[in-house]
């Protein structure tokens, strides 16, 4: 009788594995063995010594396997407003559409419902980890927890009342509640979220810096997204937004700057010196006519630049694939140099660089033994992917969401053959449609 030397939760057998590790090593016919959410072993199938038994086996022959994507900036609940206010500038879009809509419709139930909707779309486009900015963030956390994805969750703080916080003094208590509630949770990571320099006071940024340090968590904020913002901050403080934040002591490796579109040379120097993480959201910046974050220049200065989608209201998609493709092309175009941001570099941005910025280095972002089993299976057999001369180029420039067949996060099968296993897709879509009909939102904004 055979001796079963090892027992695993999940075995992924066969397939070409693009590990995206720093050397981009590939495994041509791979075996991935998963236990307790982690990759216990991965390598060429033929190299595995001994025998194994797995509670569950996924056959992956003919597929590509790569790390699940990380979306380092979004607003989960805003997918309820997808398509409303398209073609308005950021400040008008916020003041005329998003903020009035939020005033009316931003309730715990709607944050939960919108988050569920967004999570469906993210799962179907291969996202395993996301970083959110929301009101009633505990309801976004609930949805993310149910989805099985890994989420950075933060209550959006302003210096003025918000739909969820009447007294701005309460902001850090709300965040502290989140921190306490999810202490030790393997996949829900609370962090501090400040809306932007034009809506948050110096006091807020200073306190955020202290709390983040004492709680051991990250801080994120929109910074330098539009010329309007930069002008406002210059008028108010005679400093650029980043100079102002630096003068408050707010910038450090745990600070995540969303957008960073309009930068002076001095700003870039500050970002490099403070080792701030920057999240580039090309679709949203294009859609709102905000401008272009100088990604190649920042990367050349050693600044970590990751990728996010921003919300479905300013994108209007939550697919990281569109973001990968556009990031690569946008910067080739703006520099008139097609060698800028090659496929592998943008794939890094959406995986290992995002992981590093979010504090998940060594946890996720590439596939290796000891890492969380966060991965996608890709079916490359459709006309858009053939012939597969260069898998990396094809994933970035040619792949569609429908090529993503399955998603595993922390060893749990979240989607299998396009069917979401952790959430009731049909029910959620029905509830969103019911909400839309009942609210007549389109007539009201």
- Cα 101 to chain centroid, rounded: 24
Minimum separation from the CB atom of position 297 to its own copies (A):
16
Site for its own copies in 47-106 (CB under 8 A): 80-84, 86-90, 93
Q: Are the C-beta atoms of 365 and 355 separated by less than 8 Å?
A: yes
* Torsion of Cα atoms, 42 then 47 then 52 then 55, to 10°: 40
Site for its own copies in 346-385 (CB under 8 A): 381-384
Among 3, 50, 339, 370, binds its own copies (CB under 8 A): 339
Cβ-based neighbours of 96, under 8 Å, separated by 6 or more: 85, 88, 445
Distance (Å, rounded) from C-alpha 207 to C-alpha 171?
11
Question: Which lies closer to its own copies via its Cβ, residue 309 or residue 364?
Answer: 309
Among 26, 96, 342, 379, binds its own copies (CB under 8 A): 342
- Cα 78 to chain centroid, rounded: 15
Q: Which of 56, 7, 21, 5 is nearest to 348 (CA)?
A: 21
Cα radius of gyration (the chain): 22
Q: Is residue 182 within the footprint of its own copies (CB under 8 A)?
A: no
Q: Is residue 440 within the footprint of its own copies (CB under 8 A)?
A: no
- Full strand arrangement of the beta sheet holding 419-420: 26-27, 16-18, 64-67, 375-378, 404-409, 412-416, 419-420
Distance (Å, rounded) from C-alpha 116 to C-alpha 377?
23
Question: Which lies closer to its own copies via its Cβ, residue 135 or residue 392?
Answer: 392
Question: Which lies closer to its own copies via its Cβ, residue 205 or residue 392?
Answer: 392
Q: Which of 355, 421, 379 is nearest to 68 (CA)?
A: 355
Among 18, 140, 143, 288, binds its own copies (CB under 8 A): 288
Tell me if residue 170 falls in helix, strand or coil: helix
Question: Which lies closer to its own copies via its Cβ, residue 91 or residue 211?
Answer: 91
Interface map 185-214 toward its own copies (x if CB under 8 A): ------------------------------
Question: Which lies closer to its own copies via its Cβ, residue 363 or residue 441?
Answer: 441
Q: Is residue 216 within the footprint of its own copies (CB under 8 A)?
A: no
Minimum separation from the CB atom of position 120 to its own copies (A):
4
Q: Which stretch binds its own copies (CB under 8 A): 37-45, 134-142, 156-164, 318-326?
A: 318-326
Question: Which lies closer to its own copies via its Cβ, residue 325 or residue 364?
Answer: 325
Q: Is residue 417 within the footprint of its own copies (CB under 8 A)?
A: no
Which residue's structure tokens are 């209550």? 155
Among 159, 232, 275, 317, binds its own copies (CB under 8 A): 317
Which residue's structure tokens are 């009788």? 1
Tell me if residue 13 falls in helix, strand or coil: strand
- Cα 4 to chain centroid, rounded: 40
Minimum separation from the CB atom of position 363 to its own copies (A):
27
Q: Is residue 291 within the footprint of its own copies (CB under 8 A)?
A: yes
Question: Which lies closer to its own copies via its Cβ, residue 224 or residue 250?
Answer: 224
Q: Which stretch binds its own copies (CB under 8 A): 146-154, 191-199, 265-273, 310-318?
A: 310-318
Distance (Å, rounded) from C-alpha 92 to C-alpha 431?
29
The HSE-up count of residue 74 (CA atoms within 13 Å, CB side) is 33
Minimum separation from the CB atom of position 335 to its own copies (A):
7
Tokens representing 12 are: 């992924």
Q: Which stretch binds its own copies (CB under 8 A): 150-158, 196-204, 283-291, 365-373?
A: 283-291
Question: Which lies closer to its own copies via its Cβ, residue 7 or residue 227?
Answer: 227
Question: Which lies closer to its own copies via its Cβ, residue 84 or residue 270?
Answer: 84
Q: In the chain, what are the helix, strand and coil shares in percent, each to the nearest 5?
A: 40, 20, 35
Site for its own copies in 419-438 (CB under 8 A): 425, 428-429, 432-433, 435-436
Which residue's structure tokens are 């090659």? 342
Site for its own copies in 126-165 (CB under 8 A): none
Q: Which stretch binds its own copies (CB under 8 A): 137-145, 271-279, 296-304, 398-406?
A: 398-406
Q: Is residue 232 within the footprint of its own copies (CB under 8 A)?
A: no
Minimum separation from the CB atom of position 104 to its own copies (A):
14
User: How close are the terminal C-alpha atoms of the chain, in Å?
Assistant: 71
Q: Are the C-beta atoms of 106 and 131 separated by less than 8 Å?
A: no
Residue 339 phi/psi, 5° resolution? Answer: -85, -5
Question: Which lies closer to its own copies via its Cβ, residue 201 or residue 335?
Answer: 335
């Amino acid at each position: 009788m055979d001796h079963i030397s090892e027992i695993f939760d999940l075995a992924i057998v066969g397939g070409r594995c693009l590990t995206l590790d720093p050397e981009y090593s590939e495994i041509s016919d791979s075996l991935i063995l998963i236990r307790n959410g982690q990759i216990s072993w991965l390598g060429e199938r033929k190299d595995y010594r001994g025998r194994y038994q797995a509670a569950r086996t996924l056959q992956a022959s003919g597929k590509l396997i790569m790390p699940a994507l990380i979306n380092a900036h979004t607003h989960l609940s805003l997918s309820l407003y997808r398509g409303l206010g398209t073609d308005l500038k950021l400040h008008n879009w916020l003041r005329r559409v998003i903020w009035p809509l939020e005033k009316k419709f931003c309730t715990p139930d709607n944050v939960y419902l919108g988050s569920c909707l967004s999570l469906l779309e993210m799962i179907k486009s291969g996202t395993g980890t996301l970083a959110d900015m929301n009101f009633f963030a505990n309801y976004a956390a609930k949805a993310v927890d149910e989805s099985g994805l890994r989420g950075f969750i933060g209550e959006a703080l302003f210096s003025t009342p918000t739909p969820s916080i009447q007294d701005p003094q309460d902001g850090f208590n709300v965040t502290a509640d989140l921190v306490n509630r999810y202490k030790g949770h393997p996949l829900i990571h609370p962090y501090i979220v400040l809306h932007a320099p034009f809506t948050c006071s110096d006091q807020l940024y200073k306190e955020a810096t202290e709390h983040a340090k004492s709680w051991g968590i990250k801080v994120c904020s929109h910074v330098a997204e539009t010329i309007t913002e930069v002008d406002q901050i210059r008028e108010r403080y005679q400093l650029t937004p980043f100079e102002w934040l630096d003068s408050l002591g707010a910038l450090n490796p745990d600070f995540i700057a969303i957008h960073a579109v309009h930068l002076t040379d001095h700003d870039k120097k500050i970002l490099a010196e403070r080792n701030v993480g920057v999240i580039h959201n090309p679709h949203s910046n294009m859609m709102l006519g905000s401008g272009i974050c100088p990604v190649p220049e920042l990367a050349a200065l050693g600044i970590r630049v990751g990728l996010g989608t921003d919300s479905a209201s300013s994108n209007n998609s939550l697919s990281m694939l569109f973001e990968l493709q556009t990031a690569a092309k946008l910067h080739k175009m703006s520099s008139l140099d097609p060698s800028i941001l090659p496929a592998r570099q943008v794939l890094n941005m959406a995986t290992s660089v995002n992981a590093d910025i979010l504090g998940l280095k060594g946890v996720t972002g590439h596939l290796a033994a000891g890492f969380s089993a966060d991965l996608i299976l890709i079916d490359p057999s459709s006309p858009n992917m053939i012939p597969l001369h260069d898998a990396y180029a094809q994933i970035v420039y040619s792949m569609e969401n429908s090529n993503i067949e399955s998603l595993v996060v922390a060893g749990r099968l979240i989607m299998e053959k396009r069917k979401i296993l952790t959430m009731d897709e049909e029910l959620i879509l029905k509830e969103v449609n019911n909400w839309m009909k009942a609210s007549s939102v389109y007539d009201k904004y």
